[in-house]
Amino acid sequence: MAESTFDVCVIGAGAAGLSVAAGASQLGLKTVLIERSQMGGECLNSGCVPSKALLAAAKAAHRCEFTGIPGVSGQPPRVDFAAIKDGLRGVIATIAPHDSVERFRGLGVTVHRDTARFLDARSIQVGAIRLQARRFVIATGSKPAVPNIPGLDRSKILTNDNVFDLRNKPDHLVIIGGGPIGVEMAVAHRRLGSSVTVVERASILPHDEPELVDKLRDIMRGEGISLQENVEITSIDHPFGGVVVRLRKDGADYAVSGSHLLVAAGREPVFDDLGLEAAGIAHDPKGILVDARLRTSQRHVFALGDVIDAPRFTHAAGYQAGIVVRNLAFRLPAKAHYEALPWVTYSDPELAHVGLTEAKARERYDGKVRIERVPLKGNDRAVTERHPEGEIKIVLGSHARVLGASILAPAAGEMIGLWCLAVSRKLTLRAITDLMLPYPTMGEIGKAAASRYYQPTLFGERTRRLVGALQWLPPW
């Protein structure tokens, strides 16, 4: 068996692994990258990229029919579902070179397209090759979690792994799971002409601010999406050419029938056949166990991305990659913190959040929390664009420090960046009121909320008396 030795061995070429491999190699570390499946991982091939491309097609179709502009009439769009899917593949192909074997070899990374398995804590086997490394990085990602429901046939369901390969438009798509993936796929398929039912055992988007979720729920129902929330799935049948999902709510049994079933009920880590036991790397069903520096029980082995029990977002994986590279290359005790973690559900309007929700903030700070909010309907740009549905909600601590923010608006994912900075840098609303923002933009609702916080003090009686007294002073 041939043998090679490296400074860093990265297992998994998804978002997390690619970022570590690129950073380590460019800093002069001899790096090997191993991937048994597709370069770019889930995000490029079956996650963020195709889902957002599908949502873009859905938004375009929706705008054809519902312009919202007086004097401009629309008409029902002609949707070629197969052509849309070809378009998704085109988008993936455009981005793929950035994640390709050729690019990483050009960066000086040795790339192996094969399965890796630990032989012991210091070596792995890749095909007929034995590799040793001073440091290992596990970034093998996650896969769709499929719940154990009586009658569910895994061979007859859709997940994010295969839904983007579907060439024919579903007549009626039933979605199990009301998290971001379920909501996004519901909006996309409804706007492309499918009937859609979302089945959720709790409420949709349970980690977001409830009142903003309420507004989005009303919008989704207004577009004809059926939301079956707080229900128990008792069983599933797969009759020829369709699916029947049997539900129970408040003691009453009923069923939902559809043509296709999409399971979007969470993710589970992938570390099968990796030989973690041989390496002495601790793990549980939620993922590989790591400390704040993302080190496993073997301190020279790091793990990051979806394979650990941490926020499973591509941007979180990229952030974690920076932590790992600092530990690997500079021997700095960098640690991961998620206080300023943002997330976005790319519905229409989008729902974006960063930091603490109101409920979490009141729990942590013993109720000493203040809320400022501004509806989008009062924003001039929203009025001109005919997009009045939405709101910004800011969660504040003492001295008006920004603890969290949520935005329901078109392009909320773009608008949340300002509030990511505010939360991460522990800014107060004074920093926001001092900004000069372009007019007219929807982002001005943030400054409006900040200004509203200071209005009672600025225009209060004490300030009025001070201003009056200052008028008696001579000019200066």
Whole-number Cα distances in Å, 264 to 143, 146, 284 = 11, 8, 22
For 113, other C-beta atoms within 10 Å of its C-beta total 15
Coil vs helix vs strand at 310: coil
| Residues that constitute the known binding site | 52, 140-142, 177-184, 200, 266, 306
Nearest CA to 381 out of 445, 452, 446, 436 is that of: 445
Q: In b/e form, how buried is each residue of 219-244, taking b as 16+ CB within 10 angstroms?
A: bbeeeebbbbeebebeebeeeeebbb
| Residues that constitute the known binding site for NAD(+) | 177-184, 200, 266
Nearest CA to 391 out of 446, 437, 347 is that of: 446
| Residues that constitute the known binding site for FAD | 52, 140-142, 306
- The pairing of beta strand 301-303 with beta strand 123-126: unpaired
Spatial neighbors of 112 by CB under 8 A, at least 6 apart, are 32, 33, 34, 35, 126, 127, 129
Coil vs helix vs strand at 132: strand
Cβ pair 143, 161 in contact under 8 A: yes
